[in-house]
Homo-oligomer: A and B are copies of this chain.
Amino acid sequence: MLIRPKAGILDPQGEAVQTSLEALGFAVSEARVGRLVELEIATDDDARAIAEVERMCAELLANPLIESFEIVRDSR
């Protein structure tokens, strides 16, 4: 899943990335830093697995006050 700082929430990592890129001469109008969490789950029931991952995000992986999450399925 992709976990992003919500719009309007201060993102000091993103600010540091933007400042550093500009110092290196790159033109970037905005930078935001989030997290990528990749899970392997053995399942026969996709819908149930996705519901489980939503619970994992809400209970442990994302902070709903300041972060939003997006679940991306990769059926390898």
Contacts and interface: CB of A to CB of B under 8 A. Distances in A.
B35 A39 contact: no
In the complex, the count of this chain's copies comes to: 2
Nearest to A18: B39
Contacts of A71: none
Contacts of A55: 26
Q: Max chain B CB contacts within 10 Å: which of A27, A28, A39, A42?
A: A39
Interface of A: 2-4, 14, 17, 20-21, 24, 26-42, 52, 55-56, 59-61
B41 A4 contact: no
B34 A39 contact: no
Given A27-B41, A29-B40, A60 B3 contact: no
